[in-house]
Each structure stands twice: as structure tokens, then as C-alpha cells.
Structure 1
């Protein structure tokens, strides 16, 4: 008899988690293609290549499926920028650059994920779901960005409100995400990143004004 790792989940649990993740990824794809209001459990099941009943078994309702999808995307985004900061040097310029790079990481800015974010942002009926799933982690990101901007202001002697600077940078990132999805001829992530870096140079020219 082979020994088993008591810390590992049993195969049935692994299969269940894999199926749920399959449905969540299909939901992201469906949201990007059809929007919030037109995303249905039937469409998600069709995209995932599974039965409508199996989607119901795992998530029960459309609202629960959308909530868990948004919770997954929010955690993925949070883990991405946290990991980028952990690898960055301690100085604030490097940390801000790490946050900007994280916002345009290929895994985060796929057309499906950007489209799904736009779907959640664009529908009034999704706001309660968004606030519940994203509110605390959005606040954590804003606080981190403000702290970095405050350190840059102190280091460079800039006459800019660090809270406003952080808000500008956040809005420029979100705006370029929207442009990458909604413009008739969208620009690529590299151009979006350049746009955000230009706003960083305007706020903190001594740190980002060269090139």
C-alpha cells in the first residue's frame, strides 16, 4: 500500500475544485463576449462545454456564480500586485513601477479578463456584488498606492497631494484598461503602460521624468 500525503485534498475534492474553476473561467469569457445582463447559466455551460445542470450543481444561481467569479478575479488581481511588491526593492519609485507593471501583466490583461471587468463596472445592477466582493481589497490597493505616493512626495519634495496623485494613477490605469477594450482600434498593453508612466512622470518628474 502506498503512503498518502495527509495534507493533500482527496481526488474528489481536486476534481470539484477543477470543475468550479472551469466554470469560473467560462463565466469570465462569457461576460467579456455578452456583457453582464446577457450572461446566463446556459451560456456559461455552453462555453464551458458542460451541462446546465452541472453549473447549477456547483453554483446554484446566476448571482452566486457572478459573485464567486468576481471574488476570484479580485483575489487574482490582489495576489498579483502583492507578489510584484514583494519582489521589488524597498524604495518608493521601484515600488510604484512594480505596481504599474503588475497592472499590465499578461495574465491580468487578457481580453477576457478586461472584458469581464468592464462588464462588472458597466452595469448598475452589478454594483452591490462588486462592493461586497471587491470593496476591502480595493481599499487595500488604494492605501498601498497612497503610501507609496506619500513616500515619493517626501523624498522628492513635490508639491502634489499624494492622495490625489494616487487617485490620478489609479484612474489612468482603469481608463487605459477601458480603452484597450472599447476603442475601435485599441492600443496594446505596452502603449497603455506608457500612458500610465507619463502620468507618473507628471506627478513625480524627478523620479520618472527621464525617458
Structure 2
């Protein structure tokens, strides 16, 4: 059966989706252009036409994955409810005990980003956008009198640092931290950061 002819944006999205799957399965170091091509039943040349090197393909794949994560974050934070409810939903989704997928992908990306400037730029930008989005909703909650937080930016940094660290533990070291305990720590940290016991 002949393959459906895709537009350039559709083809790139298909290639990037396959690249993300291959990176998750094999790791950045082991994945090859040929793996992505084989997964889709296309030629290596087609992949290289859209992404001239493996490094460019990998950086673009991480950017593609980041766009999906950020879109979900924006949906959660854009709901018509209190800032606290939106923040809790976002933190629980992002936490390694939640429904967010791809922690193995991001841990792999952080490691490779130490040596790959293009990937470092992608992961750094995702990190900045996550922190900025959380800081914004925290500031909204403070302004609305929902909770007390003197420094929303610092709070967003501490929360994401905790979540990232727990993700490494839960993903890399099975059984190191029970998931239920990790969720308790996340809830406790959020309550502490927002001074919920002192909220109006």
C-alpha cells in the first residue's frame, strides 16, 4: 500500500514523534537516523533531508516533546478555577508520580545537554518556561489572597528542583522512594512554600 503524501510540517511532526519514541527506547547515544527511518518505513535520506544531522534531529525531537508538555501545562494553568487548584493540578501532573510521561526522555536529555549546546538550549528554555508559568500562577494566588508567598520566582525554582530530583530517583532507581511517599513530600513542600497554614 502506498504511503500517503504528507506536507512538510506533517512529515516533520511524524519524524519527530518517531525520534522521541526511539530516544525513549534506546537513549540518545544509541539512537541512529536509521532507527527513526525504519520505525516509519522511510529512507535514511528522507530523515536527513529534514534534519541534516543526528544532533539536529535530537534537538528538534526534544523541542517537539517540550511543546507538548508546555501545551498541557498551559491547559492546566488556564482553567477557570482558583490559582491554588490550578497550581496543585500542574504540580501533581508534572510530578513523577503523576500522569506526565517522558521522564526517562528528559533525564537522558539533561545528561546529553552537558555536551550538546543545541540540546542545552532546548532543555534550558523548557526549564525557564516551566518556572515562569508556575511563578505567574503563584503570583496570581498571592494577589488574590489565596495564600502567602513572598517570592513566587524562588518558590517555582524550589518546587521544580524537588520534582526534578524525585523524577531522577523514581526513574533511575526503582524502589528507592515509594511513589506514595514522594507524593506526600510534594504536597508538603507546596503547603510549606505557600504558607497554607497561615493563608487568609
Q: TM-score range by the shorter chain?
A: 0.7 to 0.9
Q: Which residue of 1 aligns with 2:76?
A: 84
- Alignment coverage as a number of residue pairs: 192
TM-aligned CA deviation for residue 192 of structure 1: 4.6
Q: Any idea what SS the aligned residue of 1:125 has?
A: coil
Q: Distance in 2 between matches of 1:146 and 1:133?
A: 20
Q: Is the contact between residue 110 and residue 120 of structure 2 (CA under 8 Å) also seen in structure 1?
A: no
Q: Which residue of 2 aligns with 1:199?
A: 189
Q: Which residue of 2 aligns with 1:129?
A: 118
Q: 2:165 aligns with which of 160, 175, 180?
A: 175
Q: Is the contact between residue 70 and residue 133 of structure 1 (CA under 8 Å) also seen in structure 2?
A: yes
Q: Distance in 2 between matches of 1:193 and 1:157?
A: 21
Q: Distance in 1 between matches of 2:182 and 2:21?
A: 22
Q: Distance in 2 between matches of 1:24 and 1:187?
A: 33
Q: 2:108 aligns with which of 119, 122, 133?
A: 119
Q: Distance in 1 between matches of 2:147 and 2:53?
A: 53
Q: 1:21 aligns with which of 13, 28, 38?
A: 13
TM-aligned CA distance change 1:22 to 1:140, over 3 Å: closer
Q: Distance in 1 between matches of 2:189 and 2:25?
A: 31
Q: TM (normalized to structure 1)?
A: 0.73
Q: Distance in 2 between matches of 1:166 and 1:208?
A: 19
Q: 1:101 aligns with which of 92, 106, 110?
A: 92
Structure 2 stretches of 5 or more lacking a match?
none
TM-aligned CA deviation for residue 135 of structure 1: 4.2
Q: TM (normalized to structure 2)?
A: 0.76
User: Is residue 2:28 matched to residue 1:36?
Assistant: yes
- For residues 23-76 of structure 1, the C-alpha deviation after alignment (integer angstroms, 9 at most, x for no partner) is 322322222233222222123334444432332233221122112111111111
Q: Distance in 2 between matches of 1:32 and 1:87?
A: 30
- Cα RMSD after superposing both structures: 3.2
